[in-house]
Amino acid sequence: MIWCHNRETKRVFGTTSTWTAGLVVNGFSTASSSHQRLAGKVAVITGGASGIGKATATEFIKNGAKVIIADIQDDLGHSVAAELGPDAAYTRCDVADEAQVAAAVGLAVKRHGRLDVFHNNAGIAGALPQDDMAAVDLGDFDRVMAVNARSTLAAVKHAARAMAPRCSGCVLCTSSGAGVIPVPAVPVYSVSKATVIAIVRAAAEPMARHGLRVNAISPGATRTPLLLRQIPLLSEMSPSLSDGLKTTVEKEVGEGGAVVLLAPEDIARAAVYLASDEARYVNGHNLVVDAGYTVHKGA
């Protein structure tokens, strides 16, 4: 049996019926307002200045959370924090640097006295083309892995250090549908995102020993600045991208008529659920949000 001593309530977890499947949780209210599902929680969101990160910060604040936006886009980050109001703040954070990840956690604790959610969302696609295995750039591979995968472990490590004393908290990690089914046009990116899922699964039981959770979200193609920059390059430079997908993405970028990409808000709402007490028994899970693409179409 896994035991977790809550220093705030002086109660020992693991002795009541709230212990299930190795995840020890107690003291959560089952009642929640549909508009305040994260009331009182404090979150750090990396890559929070744009795309999925910005949408998630917006949804978190709507649901009662206080948010630290961590990014490397300083002007944009400060602007977004000002736009979101007094419950948002910005800090510079290059997630490839473990010390900066630790500092973002420290800032949340210093400002608000606690950390409830760390959303490890920042990521990069890598240089293109990357689908010629005879010419794959291992230097670029190392950069992509540092930002997308190594940062996941750094987030788990430093968030857990802040959360464990209270036996409460969760880490969310943005993976990708490409981590579920590799996309031949971007194999380096696909490997990095599959590693995110592997880290989440491997970390789930060790996190549960402290009453903590770790989960992944794997979006399908989502209308973010990163993807919209990559689509024309992929269409032009990657022979392995199917003609059908090229036509689809050209419509999305060129004409804007066909709604073929998910909205960042679709992913943000999934993050709200996983961050909330409603998901208190969800641990080590990869929540795929892609309209079923990876289960019936493949890459």
Calculate the alpha carbon distances from 61 to 42, 50, 263, 270 in Å. 10, 15, 18, 14
Q: How confident is the model at residue 128 (pLDDT cuts 50, 70, 90)?
A: confident
Average the pLDDT over 47-73 and give the result: 97
Average the pLDDT over 25-45 and give the result: 69
Q: Is the pTM of this model over 0.95?
A: no
Query: Is the distance from CB of 26 to CB of 51 less than 8 angstroms?
Result: no
CA 272 to chain centre: 11
State the number of CA atoms in the 13 A half-sphere of 187 facing the CB: 13
CA 259 to chain centre: 24
Query: Is the distance from CB of 226 to CB of 185 less than 8 angstroms?
Result: no
What is the bridge-based pairing of β-strands 42-46 and 66-71? parallel
pLDDT (tens digit per residue) in 173-200: 999 999 999 988 899 999 999 999 999 9
Per-residue tokens: 197? 């899922």
What local confidence, expressed as pLDDT, does residue 240 receive? 58
Q: For residue 196, what are the β-bridge partners? A: none
What local confidence, expressed as pLDDT, does residue 129 receive? 87
Spatial distance between the Cα atoms of 95 and 79, rounded to a whole number of angstroms: 20
Active site residues per annotation: 176, 189, 193
pLDDT (tens digit per residue) in 68-126: 999 999 999 999 999 999 999 999 999 999 999 999 999 999 999 999 999 999 999 99
pLDDT (tens digit per residue) in 274-299: 999 999 999 999 999 988 888 876 54
Query: Is the distance from CB of 250 to CB of 228 less than 8 angstroms?
Result: no
Higher per-residue confidence, 29 vs 61: 61
Residue with tokens 């809550």: 6
What local confidence, expressed as pLDDT, does residue 261 receive? 77
Spatial distance between the Cα atoms of 180 and 285, rounded to a whole number of angstroms: 13
State the number of CA atoms in the 13 A half-sphere of 69 facing the CB: 33
What local confidence, expressed as pLDDT, does residue 13 receive? 33
Domains of the chain: 37-222+262-292 (3.40.50.720)
Query: Is the distance from CB of 195 to CB of 174 less than 8 angstroms?
Result: no
What local confidence, expressed as pLDDT, does residue 292 receive? 86
Burial string for 205-234 (b: 16+ CB within 10 Å, else e) reads eebbbbbbbbbbbbbbbbbbeebeebbeeb
Calculate the alpha carbon distances from 271 to 6, 170, 259, 283 in Å. 25, 11, 22, 13
164 closest CA partner among 293, 52, 277, 5: 5
Share of the chain above pLDDT 70, in %: 74
Q: For residue 288, what are the β-bridge partners? A: 218
Peptide bond into 239 cis (omega under 30): no
Whether 1 has a pLDDT exceeding 80, the answer reads no
